[in-house]
Amino acid sequence: AQTVTQSQPEMSVQEAETVTLSCTYDTSENNYYLFWYKQPPSRQMILVIRQEAYKQQNATENRFSVNFQKAAKSFSLKISDSQLGDTAMYFCAFMKSGTASKLTFGTGTRLQVTL
Amino acid sequence: NAGVMQNPRHLVRRRGQEARLRCSPMKGHSHVYWYRQLPEEGLKFMVYLQKENIIDESGMPKERFSAEFPKEGPSILRIQQVVRGDSAAYFCASSPAQVIQETQYFGPGTRLLVL
């Protein structure tokens, strides 16, 4: 079974600064996918970024980028130029490859962006 | 293209009553997933369905919970004889059939409160 660990329950960052959220996972699979989802106070789950394990290049989406270290089973999210609207819970998630399958989520990191 | 729809958004039930949660996937999507989020926790997988088939129900409680995705109409998550511990947010996600490993897109969730 896969497990996803987010060791930072809460983080705070000032507006316009950069913050990195940590995520590690444990799996015996070689092919899989990793995701970061954002859950703002509205509780809607919003996809932030996705990474295929077979790709060495780190995924980037505008101000969001990841540092994917497959050997270390680490998948951190970097948010640059933080904005007040980035305030949310952030969940790291794992999906094994092969067939469409379930997501396994971490416990989340609550990010507060301050003025 | 409308997103994943869930209704009701909020549902209040007394202990022993039944709760029915509905999910309409995005247009063109035929894979539906249900997740549960207990207060202050991450999302936990419950069940994965395709039209008229349950593919993976490994996360479903053995009793009182059932799910279906009929040929016509929304997917239904049904909880019989609700107890206070069922109070949670229930999220539905969908993905298309044609592309394996496509991202799951989430609905806004149904908040169930059991009195």
Q: Could you give phi then psi for residue B86, rounded to 5 degrees?
A: -80, -10
Average pLDDT over residues B10-16: 97
User: What's the token pair of residue B114?
Assistant: 């059991």
**Of A44, A100, A107, which has the smallest distance from its Cβ to B31's Cβ?**
A100
3 state SS of B62: coil
For residue range B32-47, what is the model confidence (pLDDT) as tens digits?
999 999 987 889 999 9
- Which candidate from B42, B100, B109 shows the least CB-CB separation from A106? B42
What φ, ψ does residue A91 adopt, rounded to 5°?
Answer: -115, 130
A88 confidence band (pLDDT: 50, 70, 90)? very high
- Whether residue B64 lies within 8 A of chain A, CB to CB, comes out as no
Cβ proximity of B47 and B54 under 8 Å? yes
